[in-house]
Amino acid sequence: MKKLEIKNLTKSYENNLVLSNLSLEIEKGSFTVIVGPSGCGKTTLLKCISGVESQEKGRIFLDNTDITNDPPERRNISMVWQNLALFSHLNVYDNIEFGLGLKEKNSKKKEEIISNLMKLTGLEKYKEKFPSKLSGGEKQRVAIARALAINPEVILLDEPFSSLDAKIAIILKNEIKSLQKKLGITFIMVTHNIAEAFMLADKIIIMNNGKIEQVGKPEEIYKSKNNFVSKFIGHQVSVEVFRGIGGMKLIFEDMLNYPICRFIAGGAGGGVSSHMPKYWKEYNKRRVEKKILWQDLLAKKVFFPNYDKHRDDKKYLKEKEYYDFRVMPKEIKHSPHVIFLYGEKIVNVIWAKEPLAFMTENKHVFENHLEYFKYLWERSK
């Protein structure tokens, strides 16, 4: 059942086209993440959905009701802004109460709603505190509780984790995803961080220059054949491969954006860095306990090699912190025993549809794909 439908939305600022004839459908109860580079129009799209901004043309429907011309307070849509917009002169309780506005007149009912929301978001002991006395994560919880207060059909989130400490952000992401599943409310989040999208989204929307490049599940985005999407998530690189003495030589078209340290040629075996997260050990443990055969892993296109082979081999690691993972290919032509970096197009020798294996010092690139593997892992339980 469709929850939110956008038809042919167009928006400009001073002759600068920000949204270009954009159409989109978002399912009821889903967690959708909109991703794209700065200036692509993703936050403007949220503002148009919320009613804070008006579009030049196009229609917005919520549960088949046209809300295009409705003011924000009549749309039953809540928005959590990037700066959270908490009132510094109000304590936690009063900030959440403000979210109810004029919607709930009954003071007893209002108190019950606020009490339940504080319990739901872990804010009970912060009831009397003011925003200046709260941590970033606590402020985020207040903003979420306030957004939930009106029992909205849709919650919009604009870069909600961008100002948080990395560890706190991870905790909050898990809490918000759990909360969304529990309540069944439609969440639409904007971020520039594709790793967050892989972690949270049921569907990912990739935007560029006011248009949608692709909409899909995380695995569909990860394996995208769209050139912009592949490069945006950091994993489409064309290479030339040369055979010669000492193995193979790979030359990359864009070394600045893809600082690769070491590539592995050979079969599907081999070892990995000792810096792999404990998370993989847990995966292997589950695999052994469930007696999953290698064929089953191959069928899922996920392969985790021997964990211990190079654990203490400093020469192999070159005393650097590498990040390493591998995925079995869906299809390789010409050279079935070669492992290389991502790519839809590989010049001359190798072509493949799937990412295979790499080691990199670029933690950002690694983390994008780590979130995707977490996504697969959760669905393998």
Three-state secondary structure call for residue 324: strand
Q: How far is CA 239 from CA 155, 208, 215, 228, 348, in A?
A: 43, 25, 27, 17, 9
Q: How far is CA 287 from CA 170, 283, 301, in A?
A: 25, 6, 14
Indicate the length of the chain as a whole number. Answer: 381
d(CA 42, CA 62): 19
Residue type, 28: K
| 274 is a domain residue | yes
Full domain range(s) for residue 312: 239-378
| Nearest alpha carbon to residue 236 among 219, 254, 216 | 254
Q: Identify the bridge partners of residue 35 per DSSP, sorted by sequence position.
A: 191, 206
pLDDT one digit per residue (tens) for the chain, 381 residues: 568 999 999 999 888 899 999 999 999 999 999 999 888 999 999 999 999 999 999 999 999 899 999 998 889 899 988 777 888 898 999 888 887 776 666 778 888 888 888 888 888 888 899 988 988 888 888 989 998 888 899 999 998 888 777 778 888 888 888 889 989 999 999 998 887 888 889 999 999 999 999 999 887 887 777 778 877 776 433 333 333 333 333 333 333 222 222 233 332 333 222 233 344 444 445 545 544 333 233 223 333 333 334 434 434 333 333 333 333 333 333 333 333 333 322 222 222 233 333 333 344 444 555 555 555 555 544
Same domain, 100 and 188: yes
Q: Which residue among 225, 256, 286 closes a domain?
A: 225
Same domain, 203 and 276: no
Same domain, 173 and 49: yes
Strand pairing category for 357-360 and 260-262: antiparallel
Q: Identify the bridge partners of residue 360 per DSSP, sorted by sequence position.
A: 260, 323
Q: Identify the bridge partners of residue 12 per DSSP, sorted by sequence position.
A: 17
| 221 is a domain residue | yes
Same domain, 202 and 290: no
**pLDDT confidence of residue 250:** 34
Contact yes or no for 274/310 (Cβ under 8 A): yes
Same domain, 161 and 258: no
Contact yes or no for 205/32 (Cβ under 8 A): yes
Same domain, 369 and 268: yes
**pLDDT confidence of residue 251:** 34
| 231 is a domain residue | no
Contact yes or no for 186/203 (Cβ under 8 A): no
d(CA 205, CA 380): 24
d(CA 295, CA 150): 50
| 302 is a domain residue | yes
Same domain, 324 and 215: no
Residue spans of alpha helices (H) in 52-91: none
d(CA 156, CA 331): 39
What's the half-sphere exposure (Cβ side, CA atoms, 13 Å) at 351?
5
Q: Which residue among 173, 199, 225 closes a domain?
A: 225
The domain tally of the chain equals 2
Name the token pair of 282: 């847990």
Q: Which residue among 192, 225, 258 closes a domain?
A: 225
Same domain, 197 and 271: no
**pLDDT confidence of residue 232:** 79
| 230 is a domain residue | no
Look up tokens 């971020």; give the residue. 191
Contact yes or no for 99/73 (Cβ under 8 A): no
Residue type, 317: L
Burial zone of 311 (CB within 10 Å; 0-12 exposed, 13-18 middle, 19+ buried): middle
Q: How far is CA 284 from CA 280, 307, 322, 381, in A?
A: 6, 9, 20, 12
Same domain, 119 and 254: no
| 234 is a domain residue | no
Same domain, 216 and 256: no
**pLDDT confidence of residue 248:** 32
Q: How far is CA 379 from CA 84, 281, 348, in A?
A: 33, 17, 36
Q: Identify the bridge partners of residue 294 per DSSP, sorted by sequence position.
A: none
Specify the CATH number for the domain of residue 186: 3.40.50.300
Contact yes or no for 191/156 (Cβ under 8 A): no
| H-run or E-run covering 155 | strand 154-158
Contact yes or no for 61/233 (Cβ under 8 A): no
Strand pairing category for 239-244 and 77-80: unpaired
Same domain, 161 and 261: no
The 8-class DSSP code of residue 328 comes to -
Strand pairing category for 247-252 and 154-158: unpaired
Three-state secondary structure call for residue 347: strand
φ, ψ at 136 (rounded to 5°): -60, -40
